[in-house]
Amino acid sequence: MNIGSPASARSKGTVKLKERNMKLRDNKWGFDLREDNPFRIFRYLRAVADSQLGEENVVDLSRGDPGYGFSPSVHGREFYGFLLEIDQMLNNPDEHFVSDNRDDFEALWQKIQSLADRVYSAEKAERVKKNFYFFLTRVEKYAREQGLNWDKKKVIFEIFKYSVVSGGSYLDPQGETLVRLVIADHYNKKLGLGVDYRDLILVAGVSHGIGTIFKVLCDSEIGFLREGDCVMLGSPVYAPYNTIIENRGLTTFSIPIDPATGGVVGDLDEILAGAPENVKLICLIDPNNPTGFMNDEEFLKKIAEFAEKRNALIVSDEVYTDFFFERKKNIMSFARNRSIMISGRSKIERSTGLRFGEFVIAKEAQKYIAENILGGRLDTASDLMQLLVFAKAPGEIRGEFQHVTFVTGPSQYLGISHMIFGDEDRAEYLKRIRINMESFYEILGLPYNKNLYYSCFDLKSIPGFNKNGLEPEELFLGLAKKGVILIPANLFFSEEERSKKDYRTFARGSLPNLTFSNLQKAAKLIKEYVSE
């Protein structure tokens, strides 16, 4: 395993990394799969494809954004549109809901029903009225279960005070209480986490959460991660994790994962026994990007046991967890007092532009991490949650912008509108993703092992591959000229794994990124190109 190198080697590695991230190589192909950032390469490939064929003829599997093939929930958008109509009625130049409205709930409810009848057709009016009352009832229930004595009038007040639903004011830096009530209930139902609204902090997408965590852990005053300390993670892994770790002078210890099955390559007990003493952080990307597999419970148990022995912190990136119906437990089920979960609405609700994610940290973990892992070093913050709120702002971790949420009111309320009213759309989406996955693998002639969202595969493993004379860069460029964009997966693998095997012909495909017809087109073009 890669357990680090002398300081001089790290210095050279840092220079090399900066070069890798700054620009693409000026060589025969315009990029180097060994050195160049894959998230820069795919944009170059896309530009080549667009110029050759025209944007409308390109099928792009490189990006993790489902919005190219699927739209957000229609029902969620309809409900949110009604919230905006109500907000205009309650907050306008002549009336300010907080100070001017003294109606009881029944009077307010009558006004809202009359508004629906004026604005919409009879059928739609009945639907949005029914949905609004359902929403009030549902949030009232969540609040009661999480220790708040809210009635329906209070729920209406929370939605429309200061036009928060329209972005009319600064919001709670931790995230609006009403919104966190909904998210906490979701995780309690799916994973049995036993958390409440106080255990969540909203962030501007999972990437914001990842950056915030490393900002805290690598801060010189906190002193948890220092140059040379070791981070454990899988390989392959979402490539920015490798970049973050290298940029900060940290070392990695990698658990090799088979991209085709999602299983550990080798004996996990033996692998963990060989881990260096200075493993301080374990990063799980679960389900995994780029392979599309989730970790099984036996794996999670062993990771939890290892973390307990080493007193290591666990950060689990779970933005794809809602795609797996069968998932009932995550790392918090086995290592509750040392786990920080990061997730969000981005992928499952087909709305990456909302930038609506969250930290989930059980109260036991809030206390244990602060006292026993960080050793009480919270700098100016009073507790772990305040430290993370401070840190998610631009700048340092000391509360320069502590009054700002960084997830807008419209994003928060549109996000929970999708959550509560998007069941039907979500079910159809998940059904179509599974069809996409099966069809893609079938056309390529590769075995399908029930991974979802992503596919990580070796172009050379496709039956009939006939391009052995080409450099890997030419493979990706040739596919782009045919109109198919894949993201090269070489740098998703750890440095140690790359030293053992050449992964330059491995690609990651994002399979919710296309409609079914375009996905079939992409698979057929890939198959034809590598076989010709």
Q: Output the pLDDT for position 4.
A: 41
CA nearest 275: which of 295, 305, 301, 246? 305
Please give the single-letter amino acid code of residue 348.
I
Give the pLDDT band of residue 8 (cuts 50, 70, 90): very low
Write the burial class of residue 130 (CB in 10 Å: 0-12 exposed, 13-18 middle, 19+ buried).
Answer: exposed
Beta strand ranges found along 230-354 (DSSP E): 230-235, 251-256, 279-285, 313-317, 339-344
Q: What is the mean pLDDT of the chain?
A: 94
Give the pLDDT band of residue 156 (cuts 50, 70, 90): very high
Residue 510 vs residues 54, 450, 506, 515, 522: alpha-carbon distances, Å: 21, 15, 13, 12, 11
Q: Distance between CA 325 and CA 341 in Å, rounded?
A: 18
Q: Output the pLDDT for position 168.
A: 94
The whole model's pTM is what? 0.93
Question: Does residue 531 contact residue 464 with C-beta atoms inside 8 Å?
Answer: yes
Non-local (6+) Cβ contacts of 376 within 8 A are 370
Q: pLDDT tens, 347-399?
A: 999 999 999 999 999 999 999 999 999 999 998 899 999 999 999 999 889 98
Tell me how crowded residue 223 is: count the other CB atoms within 10 A of its CB. 13
Non-local (6+) Cβ contacts of 404 within 8 A are 170, 173, 393
Q: What is the mean pLDDT of residues 82-106?
A: 94
Q: Output the pLDDT for position 22.
A: 54
Q: CA geometry: angle at 91 spanning 90 and 92, to 5°?
A: 120
> Before 72, cis peptide (omega within 30)?
no
Q: Output the pLDDT for position 516.
A: 92
The terminus-to-terminus CA distance of the chain in angstroms comes to: 39
> Is residue 5 over pLDDT 50?
no
Write the burial class of residue 469 (CB in 10 Å: 0-12 exposed, 13-18 middle, 19+ buried).
Answer: exposed
Q: What is the architecture of the domain spanning 7-70+425-531? A: Alpha-Beta Complex (3.90)
Q: Which residue has the tokens 């639903």?
A: 165
Q: Output the pLDDT for position 364.
A: 98
> Is residue 1 over pLDDT 80?
no
Centroid of chain to Cα 287: 10
Q: In the numeric block, which tokens belong to residue 269?
A: 């007990």
Mark residue 405 as left, alpha or beta (left: phi above 0; alpha: psi -120 to 50; beta: remaining).
alpha
Q: Distance between CA 63 and CA 481 in Å, rounded?
A: 18
Write the burial class of residue 43 (CB in 10 Å: 0-12 exposed, 13-18 middle, 19+ buried).
Answer: middle
Per CATH, is 205-376 categorized as 3.30.9.10? no
Question: Does residue 379 contact residue 214 with C-beta atoms inside 8 Å?
Answer: no
CA nearest 217: which of 248, 241, 242, 238? 248
Q: pLDDT tens, 215-242?
A: 999 999 999 999 999 999 999 999 999 9
Please give the single-letter amino acid code of residue 125.
A
Q: Is 68 helix (H, G, I), strand (E, B) or coil?
A: helix
Tell me how crowded residue 464 is: count the other CB atoms within 10 A of its CB. 11
CA nearest 138: which of 181, 103, 95? 181
Q: pLDDT tens, 321-335?
A: 999 999 999 999 999
Q: Output the pLDDT for position 348.
A: 94
CA nearest 316: which of 268, 344, 284, 287? 284
Write the burial class of residue 84 (CB in 10 Å: 0-12 exposed, 13-18 middle, 19+ buried).
Answer: middle
Lowest-pLDDT range of 88-102, 194-208, 469-483: 88-102
Beta strand ranges found along 274-371 (DSSP E): 279-285, 313-317, 339-344, 357-360
Q: Distance between CA 448 and CA 442 in Å, rounded?
A: 8
Torsion of CA 275, 281, 286, 290, to 10 degrees: -80
Q: What is the mean pLDDT of residues 480-501?
A: 96
Q: Where are the domains positioned within the chain?
A: 7-70+425-531, 74-162, 205-376
Q: Output the pLDDT for position 115.
A: 98
